[in-house]
Every structure is written in structure tokens, then in C-alpha cells.
Amino acid sequence: MGVFPSEIGGNGGGPGPAALAEGGADFLGDDQAGLIATPGLRPAPLVSWNNMGFLAWDPDTQRPRNTPPGISDAREFVEAFQEHVVQAREQGCGYEASLESWYRFLIDPEPPAEVVIDEATNLTVARGVDQTILEQRRAFLRHDSLVAIVMLTDENDCSIVDYGQGWLVGRTDGTVLPRATSICETDPNNTCCMSCKTDPNFVPQGCPLPETDPGCSPVSHTQETDHNNLRCWDQKRRFGFDLLHPVEKYVQALVQPRIYPRTDQNGDGKIDQADLVVNPLYAAPEGATARDRSLVFLAGIVGVPWQDISDEESWTAPRRLRYLTYDELEAQGRWSWILSENGQFPKDGLMVETFRDRTTVPGVPQEHPSGLGYTLANASTTSQTANPINGHEFSDAVPEDLQYACIFPLTETRNCQDVPATTGCDCKTEDIAANRPLCQQFTQTHAKAYPGTRILQVLRGFGSLTKNAIVASICPKVVESANPRSDPDYGYNPAVNAIVDRLKDALKGRCLPRPLDVDQATGRVPCTVIEAVPPDVNGVCPPCGGPLLPDRIEPTSPEIGPVVRQRLAEDGQCGKGTGIECEAFCLCEVQQYEGEALNRCQTQQADPTSPKGYCYVDGFDNNGEPSNQELGLLANCPASERQLLRFASEVPVKGAIAFIACLGKALSGAGAQAM
């Protein structure tokens, strides 16, 4: 487990005096996506495995997986991890690169050693390669492991581009950005939407020159309309250009086996498909199988009302909070509550990003889409509970802060009167006139979160391809509990439980959503399980049933092979750019148990060890009643999936990818599904 902060600097713009003032003595500079426990990155040394910046868990002291061994004591591991999280702190550059930070550490083929301004061109350039990150990545990523990325943030992402004029965003020394042409206000994607400082020679044909555009008088913003706090917000509409990395970059980086590097790889002076390199997330040693994308997960605990992403029972139950899965969010239309679709505002007005009082913005939905009767409350409201989700709007007289997606009560209030400017307090003297819903005069009673729309867009895009996106709110529902550790609804426990439940689905036996037809004579079901392994260095396949693949047989169905090879190609395990032809992959079939072996597999708690096969476990008897005998084996399966394919130990064999094809009672066909 590793922790890295979202502080990666101003991409040539520097932190500037404003960021330095905000951080004060706690501002520790640009972390460049390094692990928090990297030696020398923080003043106080942190425990890490082999001084590599991350923690390794080794519960089996007799046979440790790591060399040197990792931590074996659970309490010690938890305490070390807590210290890593705490050391991230809150001070520093205010432009959180929540997306770019994990991309640089886990995926970027050439993580830059520094991002600076080229004095000759006055453009941002990424220079060198951070060898520390590459070394940490090699030690951290095992090709046969599950990878879960968890983002925890109360603000939206601000991953600034590390090329071109990216430095403009990070410049907080009084520099103001240009205004945008007038069409940008209503149609930021229009061809004629551009910066008022666009060179006339580069104005698209048919578009008026910026100097004649009414939106370009004056040409540049003022300090009041281009406040540092809002520099990352709505850039295309406000400035005519977008200097943030597109969210699609991060979606593709999580699923594509080959990605574009930063530099020209073949010396032809351009970066194109010929320069594609292996995605480090899907790299594997020679002769080993790369990680399947079904074992990559992305979770976000971000600024979004928990009501928008939880089940309906959670809305009214006093303490219950259960988050919806990706499929449930999609099926119930919840994404349209929290993200803009087709140019329309989100259905939940609290997810609209603006500094203005949203009760005054035309088109912003005023009623919460749940039908619970929650209505946006204007900035003159004095009750902190006028709207149960965000309290109320605050004054937009000075455009320097965005309205909140949600707020939640602090367990300990803060007195913000006469505190230093660097103290993290939201109810200082200058905040009183704004009438923030966080404050009772100078006493801060609540914390807040802003709409995390860019992060949510990545979660939705990644989830649409893998179903492995987990969405949770950083605004907890339950903030008091007699037993915080064991209370499933307290604080962020519901978020952690949602993440753990989704990961368990990938690690447990294959629970099935529908029952299968069972041959009453043999106990077999209409399933085929195929193991796919790459050939050895000489291109030779280990024989099915041999020492490396005991008890397996050659595939019995000629139709299954092409389907499996197609899935391997789609997942980037073979074919173009991988060095392995799909036809070279070795396929063996895992046999179903029969007779006494079947009985042991279906009734005994201990996992079967020999022969290497599998069985079907049904949680219901022939009358459709729950069968107590099998309930223990199905403990990890949800109530709607009380059927299981149970595999022997070492099935699939290490380094193999297993595919399952089954015909259920309600199914008319089957396709190969990666296990």
C-alpha cells in the first residue's frame, strides 16, 4: 500500500507567493507524484518497505512473500498506514492533481524529473525522467496482483498539462489570464470559442477576429474575475482554452495495454502509433501473463452528496448508508444527477460548479431529484439545515470560491477568530460577510466539499469499460458512533465497505447470478473453464495434464478456442505490440468433479486440493428452498447470487488467465468471461 499526495506543482508556473503563504511552514514543495514515505520527501521519516516509500504486508512469517519481509502485525501495519495518510497534510499548492498524481506514479512511461518553463520558447516543458518513481514502481507493481486506486479529495481535479502554456495556470503572482470570445459563454465547444489573445493568423476561417468580439473588451481578466482559487474552473468558457489534461487520458490509461509516451521513440520527429509502449500497469516479465484489466479498480471518495449515489433505503433510514455499484448507478440514471449530459446541468443543482448563488442561475434545478423535498436555499438564509445537504448558498459578491456540493458537521468545532492566515479555517473575519453555511460567526461547525466532476467523469468512463469503478462521498452521513471501528455506517466506513465488497468480487470464487441446469446423473453443469497461458521462451506449450498443468485436458469444444483468443486480444494479452501471437497461447480445459470428488467439493469447507478441478455449488435444493449444507461455502456470495463455481487450489495455475463459459436456465448462449 502506498500513499501519494496530489501536490505535483504548478508545471512551470511555480507555487507562487499565494501558495507559499497558504502553506506557511507546512508547505513542503512539489512532490512530483512521489510516494509520501520516499526518504527525504517529508521532514519526519516514515516507515516503508525496504525504504521504497510504500508498505508491504507479510502475514505469513514462515513464508514471507517479500524480500526483505514486510510487516506481519496487523496493528503495526494499520498505524504505519495511518501515519502515511496524515503526512499528506492539506497545505501547499492549491491546484490538486488528483488524477495526474496516480497516473505519473503507476502508468506514465516517462514520469518527468521536473516541469519548468523553457526560457527560449516561454513554454512549459517536461524534462528528464524521475528514476526514483520508476524504481518504486518496479518494486510496487507485481504483474499478478490486483491494483486498486483510491482517490480521497474534497475538491475537483486540477491536473495541469505539462506542455505548451500550462505554466499560466500555476502562475499566482498577480498574472491574469485572457478573456474568451463571446461565443464561449454559451457554447465552449464552438470552433469560434478562443482566447481573446489568439493571433489573428490562427483564427479559424469564418470566425470574427478577437479584436472585434464584444467579449474581448477588455482583452484580459482582472484580479477579481480571475481569482487564483478559480483558475482551474470552467477554463474553456472563461479563457477560451483548456489547460487541463482531458479526462479521457486517464480512462484510456487504465485499460489500454499500450500507451503513448512523452517523447519520440523511433526518431522520426513525431509521436504516433509507431511510438506506443507497453503500459506499465499491464507489463509482465518475459514468459509471464500480464495483469488482466478486470483486476484494476478505481475508487473515488469525492465531493458529491451521498444521497445521489446511495440506495433509496439509505435516504430515510437514520443510520444506514449503502452506496450503489457502477451498474446500479447506470441502471437508476444516477449519473445524470451528478454530471452534465448533452450540455444540460446535472439534475442535482448541488453538482453545478459556479461561484454564483445557484438559486439565481437560470436553468439550475432547484429541487433535489430524489423527491425528498430538498430545495436549494439562497445566500441570505441563516439556517444551516435549510437544505439538509449543503445548508444554503453563500454570497457571490466576490468571485473567489465555488459553491459546495455538500457539508457535514465537525466532531470538534474550530474558533477561527484572529487565527493566522495559514490556518485551515473557513470562518475568518473575511468569511463572515459571505454567510457561509459552515459558520456560526467565527466558529466553524461544518466542513465542506466541492463538486468533484472531473474525477466523476473518469470514474464513469472507466466503469463503462470494466464495471470496476466505485463512487462514494467525502461528506459522511453518520459522524458520531459509540463504536467507530465496528459501526458499518460511521464516517467513511460505508465508502471503505463499498470498495472492499467490489474487490472481494474479484478475489472470491465465481458467484453466479442465475442457477445452472445440473445433469442429475453426473452432477455436471453446462460450463467450460479454459486456462490460457503464454508459451515458454522457446514458444513451446506445457502439455495439458503434465506436471505444470495437472489434471487438465485439451479443450473438448472446438468453438471455445477462437472465443478465448478473441478475448485475449481484446484485453491486450496478445496480438499487435505484445510480442505474443494469440494463436501461440496455450489452452487447457479444467475438468469438473464427479463422484466422491464432487461430493467433497460441494460439502467440505476446506478448499479441494487434488485433483485440480471445480464443482458447482447451489444454495437451493430441488424445491427452491435454501440449503443449509452449502450456505457456509456461499457466505461471500450476495443473496441474489446463491450459486458458485468452486475451484481447487492452484486453479487457475499461477500465470494463467481463466475463462468461463456457462449456459444458465435463463441464458440462450454463452461467451467466454475472464475469471
The full DSSP string for 309-372 is SB-HHHHHSSS---BPPHHHHHHTTTHHHHS-BTTBPPSSGGG---SS-TTSSTT---B-TTSS
pLDDT of residue 397: 76
pLDDT of residue 180: 98
pLDDT of residue 27: 43
- Distance between the two ends of the chain, CA-based, in angstroms? 24
pLDDT of residue 277: 93
SS3 126: strand
**What tens digit of pLDDT does each residue of 235-274 get?**
999 999 999 999 999 999 999 999 999 887 878 878 888 8
Nearby residues of 397 by Cβ (< 8 Å), 6 or more positions away: 433, 434
Average pLDDT over the chain, rounded to whole?
88
- Write the DSSP symbol of residue 211: G
Give 667's pLDDT tier (boundaries 50, 70, 90). very low
**What tens digit of pLDDT does each residue of 433-447 get?**
999 999 999 999 999
Tell whether the model's pLDDT for residue 344 goes beyond 60: yes
pLDDT of residue 627: 62
Question: Measuring CA to CA, how many Å separate 536 from each of 110, 288, 543, 585, 628?
Answer: 30, 9, 12, 10, 45
| CA atoms of 238 and 216, how far apart (whole Å) | 11
The amino acid at residue 430 is E
Which one is predicted more confidently, 451 or 5?
A: 451
* Average pLDDT of span 170-185: 91
**Under 8 Å between Cβ of 196 and 179:** yes
Q: Which residues pair with 126 in a beta bridge?
A: 115
**What tens digit of pLDDT does each residue of 527-583 get?**
999 999 888 778 899 999 999 899 999 999 888 899 999 888 877 778 876 678 899
| CA atoms of 166 and 242, how far apart (whole Å) | 9
**Under 8 Å between Cβ of 140 and 107:** no
pLDDT of residue 508: 55
Give 509's pLDDT tier (boundaries 50, 70, 90). low
Which grid coordinates are listed for 28? 513542503
b/e sequence 109-147, b meaning 16+ C-beta within 10 Å: bbbbeebbbeeeeeebbbeebbebbbebbeebbeeeeeb
b/e sequence 183-204, b meaning 16+ C-beta within 10 Å: bbeeebeeebbbbbebeeeebe
Tell whether the model's pLDDT for residue 24 goes beyond 60: no
pLDDT of residue 154: 95
Among candidate residues 60, 155, 84, 107, the one with its CA nearest the CA of residue 454: 155
| CA atoms of 674 and 489, how far apart (whole Å) | 33
pLDDT of residue 631: 54
Tell whether the model's pLDDT for residue 669 goes beyond 60: no
Q: What percent of the chain has pLDDT over 90?
A: 60
* Average pLDDT of span 183-207: 96
pLDDT of residue 665: 42
pLDDT of residue 147: 96
Among candidate residues 237, 341, 331, 292, the one with its CA nearest the CA of residue 571: 292
The residue assigned the cell 439556517 is: 383
25-29, 451-455, 554-558: least confidently modelled range: 25-29
Tell whether the model's pLDDT for residue 15 goes beyond 60: no
pLDDT of residue 18: 40
Among candidate residues 561, 524, 517, the one with its CA nearest the CA of residue 663: 517
Tell whether the model's pLDDT for residue 58 goes beyond 60: yes
* Average pLDDT of span 78-91: 85
Sheet with 296-302, edge to edge strand ranges: 147-152, 296-302, 469-473
Angle at 258 between CA 256 and CA 260, to 5 degrees: 105
Question: Is the bond leading into 68 cis (omega within 30 degrees of zero)?
Answer: yes
* Average pLDDT of span 466-493: 92
b/e sequence 603-637, b meaning 16+ C-beta within 10 Å: eeeeebeeebbbbbbbbeeeeeeebeebeebbeeb
171-180, 318-327, 657-666: least confidently modelled range: 657-666
The residue assigned the cell 443473496 is: 639
Q: What percent of the chain has pLDDT over 70?
A: 90
The residue assigned the cell 489570464 is: 177
pLDDT of residue 217: 93
Nearby residues of 526 by Cβ (< 8 Å), 6 or more positions away: 516, 517, 662, 663
